[in-house]
Amino acid sequence: MRVVVTGGAGFIGQHVVAETLRRGHDVLVLDSLREDVHGQHGCPPSGARLHLGDVRQTYDLDAALPGADVVVHLAAKVGLGVDVSDLPDYASNNDLGTAELLAAMARHRLNRLVLASSMVVYGEGLGRCAEHGPVRGRPRSEYDLAQGQFEPECVRCGAQLSPSLVDEEAPSDPRNAYAASKLAQEHYATSWARETGGSAALLRYHNVYGPGMPQGTPYAGVASIFTSALRDGKAPRVFEDGGQRRDFVHVRDIAAATVTAAERHTGGARAFNVGTGVPRTVGEMAASLAHALHGPTPVVTGDYRLGDVRHITANSARILDELGWMAREDFDKGMAELAGLGQTVSAPAVAAR
């Protein structure tokens, strides 16, 4: 199988490419190697061909796509964004980039897509109210956050909600620029699949960590930020009260899920949560990293970001039932690995002609 991986030189992309090659497939990477994303180290693993180009450019797509069997679309601007001035860049890279890719796939009669989406499309997700059962939490106000009132409240009665797992049928509620752009990508892909008869696996990745995570860029995840602080001898600074629940999933598990979807999903547009199914708090992750690095105890700051959600953990049963994938990496071993490994996956790729 010939696979085109957009964004294959990035953190997740390198692992996806390595797993695709390990399974014996032919890989071409389309990546712009943006310096603000990759620094000076972005490169897909050895054995993949590289086409240096941009998914927003027709001539790059027309050079990369012919002969492909499936496209894995990872290229995107990530992170929450700093303020509304970031909106055009998210719209350009994520929305326009995906639209151009899908139009090019239609031109070249390619009908199989795997899209890297995100759990951020759910927003706060669903919680459980003692009186009203499963309900959506109302958006947290800056006043409440400043007062240290972090838990979401029932939209009907205002009572504090207990967090619960969400499945793929939960309503979407994007609460920042990145989340809005990921949901837009899903809508574009669903429309493309309906109009062309193609298949689109919409993989809603949870909080990804592992070797090769970017550091010192706007795209670094919280695990990378904590690791950088600990390596500098500083205590990780944990926002809110550290009780935010997430599903931390190792990048090798993400790569395996992505390649499995590329191999097995063939029927229409379908969303899949990709996580371990085991909620952990941000405070627990910081403590695990501090232990692995023999560093100072994390400091809970009470600081907050208005665009963050309190809890988002999802049920990943669908991808197991339909595609046969489940997470296998151990959390504490993964955190220790993240603390001890460097930033590359393997040697440079061969440039495509």
Per-residue pLDDT at 350:
43
Per-residue pLDDT at 341:
44
Per-residue pLDDT at 42:
59
> Are 164 and 129 a contacting pair, CB within 8 Å?
no
Structure tokens of 85? Answer: 């001035």
φ and ψ at residue 232, rounded to 5 degrees: -90, 5
What gap in Å lies between CA 303 and CA 228, rounded to an integer? Answer: 19
> Are 151 and 103 a contacting pair, CB within 8 Å?
no
What gap in Å lies between CA 233 and CA 223, rounded to an integer? Answer: 15
User: Domains in the chain, start-ordered, CATH in brackets?
Assistant: 2-126+165-339 (3.40.50.720)
Which of 218, 177, 188, 183 has the alpha carbon at shortest distance from 87?
A: 177
Per-residue pLDDT at 138:
81
> Are 167 and 126 a contacting pair, CB within 8 Å?
no
Per-residue pLDDT at 224:
82
Which of 103, 126, 25 has the alpha carbon at shortest distance from 70?
A: 25
Residues with Cβ within 8 Å of residue 143, at least 6 apart in sequence: none
Per-residue pLDDT at 200:
98
Per-residue pLDDT at 63:
97
What are 103-154's pLDDT values in tens digits? 999 999 999 999 999 999 998 878 899 999 988 888 888 999 999 999 999 9
What gap in Å lies between CA 291 and CA 295, rounded to an integer? Answer: 6
Amino acid occupying residue 335: M
Residues with Cβ within 8 Å of residue 304, at least 6 apart in sequence: 145, 146, 150, 239, 240
What are 288-340's pLDDT values in tens digits? 999 999 999 999 999 998 878 898 888 999 999 999 999 999 998 998 888 87
What gap in Å lies between CA 203 and CA 259, rounded to an integer? Answer: 11
Cα separation values, 227 from 69, 222, 291, Å: 38, 8, 11
Q: Is 147 exposed, middle or buried (0-12, 13-18, 19+ CB in 10 A)?
A: exposed
Q: Mean pLDDT in runs of 10 for the chain (353 residues)?
A: 96 96 97 71 78 96 97 88 78 96 98 96 87 86 93 91 90 88 97 98 94 67 86 94 94 98 96 95 93 94 88 92 97 86 41 39
Q: Order of strands, edge to edge, in the sheet holding 49-52?
A: 269-274, 199-205, 112-118, 70-73, 2-6, 26-31, 49-52, 350-351
What is the distance in angstroms between the CA of the first residue and the CA of the last residue of the chain?
19
Per-residue pLDDT at 313:
87
Per-residue pLDDT at 103:
98
What gap in Å lies between CA 352 and CA 44, rounded to an integer? Answer: 12
Q: Is 294 exposed, middle or buried (0-12, 13-18, 19+ CB in 10 A)?
A: exposed
